[in-house]
Amino acid sequence: MSDPMADLERQLKPYRDRFPSFRELPPEGLARTEVTGLVEQLASAEDCRWRDGYASGAVYHGDPEHVAFLSQIYAAQSQSNPLHADLWPSATKFEAEIVAMTAAMLGAGHAPPETPVTGTVSSGGTESILLAMKAYRDFARERRGIATPEIVAPVTAHAAFDKAARFFDMPLVRVPVDGGFRADLGAVAGAVTERTAVVVGSAPTFPHGVIDPIPQIAALAAERGVGCHVDACLGGFILPWAEQLGYPVPPFDFRLPGVTSMSADTHKYGYAAKGSSVVLYRGRDLRQFQYYTLTDWPGGLYLSPTFAGSRPGALSATCWAAMVSIGKSGYTEAARRILETGARIRDGVAAIPGLRVLGDPLWVTAFAADDGLDVYQVMENMSHRGWSLNGLQRPAAVHLAVTLRHTVPGVADRFLADLAGSVEEVRANPGVSTGMAPVYGMAATLPADVVRQLLTGYLDMLFEV
Ligand SMILES: Cc1ncc(COP(=O)(O)O)c(C=O)c1O
């Protein structure tokens, strides 16, 4: 049976063997040309399968001209830090406009003037979610007198909600999903109590790419006087355009009066460089519970809107540049290509005997296998053919999140042909279990503590030189 630690070691070894390692600072600095050469060699040694569309998600745009454009903007702003608004007012301008443009795209125009949609830029989807949950916790304690505020979230909501619950000591009440992998409304209603700070819905979910019944969740939250966070990290920059293109998208944003906050990732389908996302709130109050201020520190009066202190203003500049250079027409065209490719892939997977598409997704296709066929072995066989797909569990499944890389002619056909070939091979050799297949099998049978120890050991290994 394969060992995930050994697999990681195998992946890292060539890099450790072929390139110099630094366990302490070199006595004399290396020449810049030498360092540039090393970094370029590392980049070219890295297998850029994502460029040819072999990866699920990961790189959402990736066209060379777009990447070069973002790098040029980064270079022009590399010293910028929004913590010092006096030195870099441009960083503040970029961030305010990123928030305004994202809010306008997500229904802010429907909010009454006394409670405008507000927000901040963060470093990614996880930070946006953590920030919102912390804001709800502190709001619930101070304004609603709840000692231990709770989060109610479907089991399919992103792991970041669990992370928030653990970091901020907020009990997380997980509710089941229905047969279509959407939040079970009866279960959500039953889970909301006087301790609930916020109810969560996803548009769409990470695992299965389906949209929770947001209008009903938001109405329930409003009726019970609790917050409603819509996690649109994945869909925020696709669904508004999908709706205009005529796809069946229920209202999921600030057009619904019950929606009190949202997360939308600019570094996914906003096509910005990695390290940026937006968290939005209905009104100014909740956002103020996100802020941090310190008045009696010898280091001076201190204030920061998010978790970090100093932040990379250059990333906000590249995010702003991506948004204003792509514009509504560019995002609509990108969404059209992604949704068309998503539909082809979903229908193509459904037509492969032995595989079953889970739920009714638009562009993230999750599939499970019939009895007698191990879907993780199919994923492993796909990885031998170059594909990097996402393994899911409960139930055992695999998904592909379609990005612009998959809309390049030939990529979808290659995926479907490889998938059909992998299914046939696994059927012919059902007992041969390698790579991630036994790891997922093992995770399903071992006690949670043991699996946690394995994952912790894996993280430890990442920091060995
Ligand atoms: C629905 C959803 N929420 C949150 C996240 C977390 O985003 P990040 O990895 O940027 O922290 C993801 C990431 O894929 C996601 O799909």
| pLDDT tens digits along 41-61 | 998 888 789 999 999 999 999
- Asked if residue 163 has pLDDT above 50, the reply is yes
Question: Is 160 near ligand 1, meaning CB less than 6 Å away?
Answer: yes
Write down the H helix ranges in 77-179.
Answer: 89-105, 125-144, 159-167
Distance, CA 206 to ligand 1 centroid (Å)? Answer: 7
Helix (H, G, I), strand (E, B) or coil at 464: coil
Q: What is the residue with the minimal CA distance to atom 9 of ligand 1? A: 125
Please give the Cα distance from 368 to 371 (Å, whole number): 10
pLDDT at residue number 19: 87
Distance 158 CA to ligand 1 centre (A): 7
According to the model, what pLDDT value does residue 4 have?
67
**pLDDT at residue 1 above 60?**
no
Would you call 68 exposed, middle or buried from its count of C-beta atoms within 10 A (0-12, 13-18, 19+)? exposed
CB 272 within 8 A of CB 318: yes
The Cα–Cα gap between 46 and 38 comes to 12
Query: Does the Cβ of 390 fall within 6 Å of ligand 1?
Result: no
Between CA 31 and CA 97 the distance in angstroms is: 40
Inform me whether the pLDDT recorded for 11 exceeds 90: no
CA nearest ligand 1 atom 16, residue: 206
How large a percentage of the chain has pLDDT more than 70? 98
Q: Give me the residues paired with residue 150 across strands.
A: 196
Pocket test for ligand 1, best of 163, 208, 265, 400 (most atoms within 8 A of CB): 265
Residue 293 has what pLDDT? 98
Instruction: State if residue 269 touches ligand 1 by the CB under 6 angstroms criterion.
Output: no
Residue 216 is predicted with a pLDDT of 98
pLDDT tens-digit map of 395-443? 999 999 999 999 999 999 999 999 999 999 999 998 766 677 767 777 8
Atom of ligand 1 nearest to the CA of 204: 1
Architecture (CATH level 2) of domain 89-322: 3-Layer(aba) Sandwich (3.40)
User: Is any ligand 1 atom within 6 A of the Cβ of residue 236?
Assistant: no
Distance spanning both ends of the chain, measured CA to CA = 26
Task: Identify the CA nearest to 240 among candidates 229, 256, 252, 228.
Answer: 252
Does the pLDDT of residue 184 top 60, yes or no?
Answer: yes
Q: Does residue 231 line the site of ligand 1, with CB under 6 A?
A: yes
- Is residue 2 over pLDDT 70? no
Closest C-alpha to 411, from 402, 399, 420, 424: 402
CA distance 40 to 434: 33
